[in-house]
Structure 1
Amino acid sequence: MRATNCFSLLCVSAFLTVAIALAGEQPLRLEEVVVEETPLVEEVKEEATPFITVLDTTQTPTRVQTATELLSESVGVQVRQFGGLGDFATLSIRGSASNQVAIYLDGILLNQAGIGSVNIANLPLDSLERIEVYRGFTPVTFGTSALGGVVNLVTRKTPETVANEISLSYGSFTTLKADLFRAQRFQRLDYLLFLNYTGSRGDFTFLDDKGTPNNEADDEVTERQNNDFFSLDVTGKLRYTLSNQAEIHFLSNLFYKDEGIPGIGNFQSTHASLTTLRSINNLRWRQPELFLPELEGTFNLFFTYQQDRFEDRFGEIGVGNQDNRNTTQALGGNALFTYFWGDHQVLSFLSEIRRETFDTEDRLATPPEGPTQTRMQYAFALQDDIFLWSDRLLLSPLLRYEIFRNDFSGKLPFQLSSIAPDRRKSESFFSPKLGIRLRLTDMLTLRGNIGKFFRVPTFLELFGDRGTTVGNTDLVPESGINWDIGFRVEKRQLGPLTRLFLEYAYFQSEIDDLILFIQNSQRTSIAQNISQARIQGHEVSFSLTGFDHLLLSGNYTYQQAKDDSNIPFLRGKRLPGRPLHELSTSLELFDKRYGKLFYTLNFTSGNFLDRANLVSVPSRTIHNLGLTVTPPGVKGLSLTFEVKNLTDNQIQDVAGFPLPGRAFFGTVDWKF
């Protein structure tokens, strides 16, 4: 507690160290510098202190690539997949839990209060311009503090000229993907429309050990069943520019998916299914000069809706027959004010309010309707970017205050027993952060950050369900202190190299009050704050472009994620799904006239699948190879052929859920 108070005092003191004497007559307008070349080029935004990865997604329509695959190749990011294309997948940053990472679409939060985690297999990719990964820290522009970090999906912008694109892909496991894109700009109005269809039978073969991994005599190669899916994704954007340079933006994204749920590999289901309907909408007003020439305002009003229906009437998945429908709705708004205080200081203030409801329906129960669970969230954040020493030194303190009010209406689960939770739970917390960026030379930049972050309990942890989970409104938020330090080297025009980039970061997190489900009776379990974790590691990213036709890039992550709890049989164990070593490299040989040859290698060391470190998976190396040809005489046309998992490795991230072996895909893409 004393360390936290000292840290808070340090941040407050940094706010008071305002360099007024450095203020000039003309206000400063800071432009974001982002260099984007390929999805594996790891870049940092110039005017920021956190370590940020920017993944270029503008070329993904020319390939069969998913957000799951792309994010898994990013430094510091671990992805756990429960199957192949379209199957459930979660994301971790720097050893965090998946529900400790906040995921946004154009600044709109996708995490739900019900479960916390986001299925990244359902994230759009082809409609995006880039993906921003904030490793370990949450900027002022986002309303929610996140222990692990932030992933922001940024949709495409309307180009200066009329743009059309058609893309069609086909490949292994009867996989089909089709994209349509149209964008046009008028004098004050521009629009963008994107449509995507993706479907697959998902019937890849895998080695089934029949649940007896130590007995190879009964092993057999079998086909994945009930693993088919199809999805539709539609994105529309409008922008209107007013006479005073103010802009009004409207974004709407609609996603629908119907999929089979195959279950574990040695006991596959044949009937279980899941349908998902999601709608994301945002209205934004941006005013460059709001009341004052130095003041800029951005205002958002958003609404999100998601309905999931899971059917397992034959009891093939989990316990008993199930037919459940869960509906989540969120409505809110925020205001971001940016004040350019002279030439050397920028103040940013964000206020946000968000109301989220979660409704359940068990169609096999009487009555089927469950209670409505509600969360009100209020967030306030103030950031001061102070530029000193001819702008070579940046001090960036941030103060964030959040309030959460949770309410459970209707009949509580286990209401007549002594273990019933309260109906209401409120939390508020203060999370300070301090970042430093020092540009020593034109080539070398140092960065460092320290901050305190939180994760509030989900509805399931607070209130339980109508089955085997008991709520616990005595839970406190998970909390942690993150810090990192590192450097960045970038040099252009170095002999035959047109660009050389290298980045290193050391990171450490100490997380307290981790929430775990503990069995408290023969038929129920309850969430409790009983665990701690300590995570530390190193990240290295590099890329070089040169010789007119070569691009080599990659990254390496080493991390030690250990259980630091007081539970004797868990203390000192490695956290599941967090490998010690991860390496990703990419090589491209390109010619602007004829196309490119590309190769990627992804290595993951062996890791454990359970907290007791009893079940493990071996290390694996995945090779992918592809060729893109741009035929002469047809402007904007490209043909791509890919081979994924070239050596046909039989692998899995989660026990019992095999991943596909070798697969072939072809894509025709035409921009006109």
Structure 2
Amino acid sequence: MRYPLLWCCLLFVFGATVDAKTNPTPSKKNTPKKATSPITIKPIDVKKKKRVETPEEKEPTGFATVIDLSKQHQRVRSLGESLRESAGVNARSTGGTGAWSALSIRGSSSSQVQILLDGIPLNHGGSGAINLSDLPLDTLKEAVIYRGFAPAHLGGAIGGVVNLITLFPQESSTFQANITAGSFGTLKTNLSWGGRQGQWEWFLLAHYIGTEGNFPYFDNHGTPLQTEDDLPDAVRQNNQNHLFSTLARAAFQPIKKLKLSLTYMLVGRNMGVPGVGNYRSEEASFGSTRHLLQLHVAGKHLPLAGLRWQSRVYFIQQQEVFKDLLGEIGLGRQDTNNHSLVAGWKSLIRWAPVAFWEGTLSFHARRESFQPKDELQPTLEQPERSRWSLQPTLQSLFYLWDERISIIASGQLEYLCTPALPVPIMPGFQPEEETMLLPIGRAGLRIQPWSFVLVQGNVGRYVRPPTFWELHGDRGITIGNPRLKPEVGLSMDAGGVLQFKKLGILREVRFGYAFFHTQSTDLIRFIQNSQQTAIAVNISEAHITGHELQARVNIADIWHLSADITWMEAINQSEIVAENGKQLPGRPLWEVSIRSDITLSWGRLFYSYTGLGGNYLDTANLQELAPRHIHNLGLTISPIKLARALGSTFPWHHLRLTLEVKNILDQRVAFVPLRPPLPNIKEIKQALSDYGGYPLPGRSFYISIQWKL
């Protein structure tokens, strides 16, 4: 698809022309049918009520998964833990509650995944990747994961898109309190209040979670071939983590067809940086503060029938402070204080004048700025990095054969303008304004000949522009490169769903399969160009091929079973000989997630298993990460409801108690092959980790009390 925007314009005009010829005057008979929602294979936490489709989620040909996060608020769980249970999704962590966590979809890098909060993109030029632990799960209602193809107005990314939906009141008046305590000095509290009255709705939430993070781990003292100095129960130090967040939302609906809402979110964090397990850090610390403000206006059938629109203005301000005055982390002493500011306007118009066609026009204007500061050199002024972006998008959606066939095509043209810095970033580069024109095109097809079977497929071209760090460096150990090209990904997927309902006690049986392939070029890497500096260059290419399998079984609306399996080959096609043909680090060859949930009127018993293997730490595939098999078990009961079920009567039936054990078998170590092997040593003992040297915790216990009024 060489000219995606042009093709989409032609489809848009064609659809409108057909409408003008066949239906010059709209009538009630031509009232458009409600568009088909995306095929979603839901995880274990499924709402019994029919879910209302929102404009952000409307994508009939995409592979999407909807995760209900509201039922996980009683547990000590991170957003990454919840997302990684879905097929094709992997979240890596540095270990412990609140630790750094990055998301990968279908083998992508974390910077190739677009994260949105209520439709607002959180990725910015200061840092392409998003730390999932900065998004408290307790402030979120649900997450919609688009693996590959996503609605055009949500943007596009090489890996995929995740849209997080914040909480809002579901009842006329609700007050809720929750407190959780557990292993390693962990404490979590929530207070929320929301309600509706007349034309107004409101919701307030205050959330805190903190931990000492002093869990035991296996430390080999950096000598994997010698077992004499191993410490099987070393204690993690300087791993404390404290996060506080508030969420405030208010909405006003003057008429049925128009709604205005205002959202404010504050997240503050203060944490230690423990370093790798072999070389402990005692003083390094990190802190961040993020403010988000959004004004959203939405209307439907106003001023025309079949017309839906929405517009939002948003601001995101973030500060990040990193202190390593003893030089325990990285190279030398560090004391940085970085500020970023993002402001944007995003609008969407969706028009469905007839039952067989719908057109979408969206526009996104955005300005990003990043201001670094080195507190160790207060007289050295770092110039502000900034850029503008404009993103017009067109999408056409056709329904044929009584909506059994859906055909979709979209085109997006992103214009990026990066003003010149006042001084050169390195000798030989003169300051000049940089502009990029980035076309993105997508097309999809879905066929559902019968209600129980569906097949679908998509193709697309996506891009990731360089970050400020990659373009301009930090004027220290990393050197920017203003001549960088954007990363480009060509992807395709195909698969289907087989679903049966009401087979005796089997309320629902569903199987889903997807094949995907992505070819990424011009991948950006930092390579060493001197003894003390590294420069960003376009040097790598990757071919990623994989299979996703999902299964869901609902037995009598009491027992829910689900499984997600991913098998993936992520092959590095780098120009570096030692890396070419090897598996990309951090992309496991296989990953399995199994969940079981038994729900009764007075409680719920839940179990989960996560396993993965075939994962490497380095690009040469010499250091294999230990495979893991993690089992979790929990029980939620309503004591008063249980007493009533046994014949007693008590008030306060909204009181709930949750007990949970994570990593039941206390798996903290595993044996991995030694490469190359020695005559008398074929394998070595290694701590479980996502990142080399950052151990994951073992068995932990948590108890939670929730009261709702």
Residue of 661, 666, 670 corresponding to 2:703: 666
Residue of 322, 330, 333 corresponding to 2:345: 333
Assess if the C-alpha contact under 8 Å between 1:408 and 1:463 holds in 2.
no
Assess if the C-alpha contact under 8 Å between 1:137 and 1:147 holds in 2.
no
**SS in structure 1 at match of 2:274:** coil
- Shift of residue 517 of structure 1? 0.9
Residue of 592, 605, 608 corresponding to 2:616: 608
1:460 and 2:475 are equivalent in the alignment: no
**SS in structure 2 at match of 1:62:** coil
- Aligned residue identity for 2:337: R
In 1, Cα distance between the equivalents of 2:353 and 2:71?
39
**What CA deviation, in whole Å up to 9, does each residue of 1:11-38 have, x standing for no partner?**
6665565354776733325367588975
1:553 and 2:562 are equivalent in the alignment: yes
- 1:477 aligns with 486
- Shift of residue 244 of structure 1? 6.0
1:528 and 2:537 are equivalent in the alignment: yes
**What CA deviation, in whole Å up to 9, does each residue of 1:229-251 have, x standing for no partner?**
11111011110012363111111
426-435 vs 154-163, greater mean Cα deviation: 154-163
In 1, Cα distance between the equivalents of 2:576 and 2:566?
28
- Aligned residue identity for 2:512: E
- Shift of residue 10 of structure 1? 6.7
**What CA deviation, in whole Å up to 9, does each residue of 1:168-197 have, x standing for no partner?**
100000100001111110110110111110
In structure 2, stretches of 5+ residues that fail to align are 642-649, 669-687
Assess if the C-alpha contact under 8 Å between 1:22 and 1:342 holds in 2.
no
- 1:487 aligns with 496
User: What are the within-5 Å matches in structure 2 for residues 312-331 of structure 1?
Assistant: 312-331=324-343
User: What are the within-5 Å matches in structure 2 for residues 403-442 of structure 1?
Assistant: 403-414=415-426, 417-418=427-428, 420=429, 422-442=431-451
**What CA deviation, in whole Å up to 9, does each residue of 1:188-212 have, x standing for no partner?**
0110111110000000010101111
Assess if the C-alpha contact under 8 Å between 1:36 and 1:56 holds in 2.
no
1:273 and 2:285 are equivalent in the alignment: yes
In 1, Cα distance between the equivalents of 2:378 and 2:140?
44
- 1:113 aligns with 125
**SS in structure 1 at match of 2:618:** coil
Residue of 48, 54, 74 corresponding to 1:62: 74
- Shift of residue 124 of structure 1? 2.1
**What CA deviation, in whole Å up to 9, does each residue of 1:106-141 have, x standing for no partner?**
011111201200001111211211101110123122
1:451 and 2:460 are equivalent in the alignment: yes
Residue of 408, 414, 433 corresponding to 1:402: 414
**SS in structure 2 at match of 1:362:** coil
Assess if the C-alpha contact under 8 Å between 1:371 and 1:408 holds in 2.
no
**What CA deviation, in whole Å up to 9, does each residue of 1:616-666 have, x standing for no partner?**
112110000111111123321111110001111111111110010000001
Assess if the C-alpha contact under 8 Å between 1:168 and 1:178 holds in 2.
yes
**SS in structure 1 at match of 2:383:** strand
- Shift of residue 436 of structure 1? 1.1
Could you state the TM-score of these two structures normalised by the residue count of structure 1?
0.95
**What CA deviation, in whole Å up to 9, does each residue of 1:349-405 have, x standing for no partner?**
111100011001101014243110001010011111111111111111001110111
Residue of 129, 137, 140 corresponding to 1:125: 137
Assess if the C-alpha contact under 8 Å between 1:424 and 1:473 holds in 2.
no
**What CA deviation, in whole Å up to 9, does each residue of 1:264-298 have, x standing for no partner?**
11111111111110011110111223432232221
**What CA deviation, in whole Å up to 9, does each residue of 1:484-510 have, x standing for no partner?**
000012222111111112111000001
User: What are the within-5 Å matches in structure 2 for residues 510-659 of structure 1?
Assistant: 510-592=519-601, 594-631=602-639, 632=641, 633=650, 634-650=652-668, 651-659=688-696
- Shift of residue 320 of structure 1? 1.2
% same residue? 35
- Shift of residue 423 of structure 1? 4.0
- 2:208 aligns with 197
- Shift of residue 413 of structure 1? 3.5
1:209 and 2:220 are equivalent in the alignment: yes
Could you state the TM-score of these two structures normalised by the residue count of structure 2?
0.90
In 1, Cα distance between the equivalents of 2:617 and 2:42?
35
1:421 to 1:92, Cα distance in 2 relative to 1, 3 A: farther
In 1, Cα distance between the equivalents of 2:702 and 2:123?
32
1:437 to 1:421, Cα distance in 2 relative to 1, 3 A: farther
**SS in structure 2 at match of 1:351:** strand
In 2, Cα distance between the equivalents of 1:603 and 1:82?
17
In 1, Cα distance between the equivalents of 2:229 and 2:506?
55
**SS in structure 2 at match of 1:69:** helix
In 1, Cα distance between the equivalents of 2:507 and 2:148?
31
Assess if the C-alpha contact under 8 Å between 2:461 and 2:488 holds in 1.
yes
Residue of 218, 222, 241 corresponding to 2:229: 218
- Aligned residue identity for 1:577: G
1:187 and 2:187 are equivalent in the alignment: no
Assess if the C-alpha contact under 8 Å between 1:600 and 1:623 holds in 2.
yes
44-53 vs 490-499, greater mean Cα deviation: 44-53
Assess if the C-alpha contact under 8 Å between 1:199 and 1:231 holds in 2.
yes
- Shift of residue 520 of structure 1? 1.6
59-68 vs 396-405, greater mean Cα deviation: 59-68
- 2:384 aligns with 372
**SS in structure 2 at match of 1:623:** strand
- Aligned residue identity for 1:624: N
1:229 to 1:475, Cα distance in 2 relative to 1, 3 A: same
User: What are the within-5 Å matches in structure 2 for residues 377-388 of structure 1?
Assistant: 377-388=389-400
Assess if the C-alpha contact under 8 Å between 1:463 and 1:470 holds in 2.
yes
- Aligned residue identity for 1:187: G
- 2:681 aligns with none
- Aligned residue identity for 2:596: L
Residue of 2, 7, 11 corresponding to 1:5: 2
In 1, Cα distance between the equivalents of 2:44 and 2:208?
22
In 2, Cα distance between the equivalents of 1:76 and 1:464?
32
- Shift of residue 523 of structure 1? 2.2
How many aligned residue pairs are there?
664
1:109 to 1:461, Cα distance in 2 relative to 1, 3 A: same
- Aligned residue identity for 1:654: Y
In 1, Cα distance between the equivalents of 2:73 and 2:464?
35
- Shift of residue 321 of structure 1? 1.1
In 2, Cα distance between the equivalents of 1:371 and 1:69?
38
- Shift of residue 432 of structure 1? 1.0
Assess if the C-alpha contact under 8 Å between 1:200 and 1:229 holds in 2.
yes
Assess if the C-alpha contact under 8 Å between 2:44 and 2:596 holds in 1.
no
Assess if the C-alpha contact under 8 Å between 2:598 and 2:604 holds in 1.
yes
User: What are the within-5 Å matches in structure 2 for residues 81-120 of structure 1?
Assistant: 81-120=93-132
- 1:505 aligns with 514
- Shift of residue 438 of structure 1? 1.1
Residue of 224, 242, 252 corresponding to 1:240: 252
In 1, Cα distance between the equivalents of 2:611 and 2:545?
20
In 1, Cα distance between the equivalents of 2:505 and 2:33?
35
**SS in structure 1 at match of 2:152:** coil
In 1, Cα distance between the equivalents of 2:93 and 2:457?
32
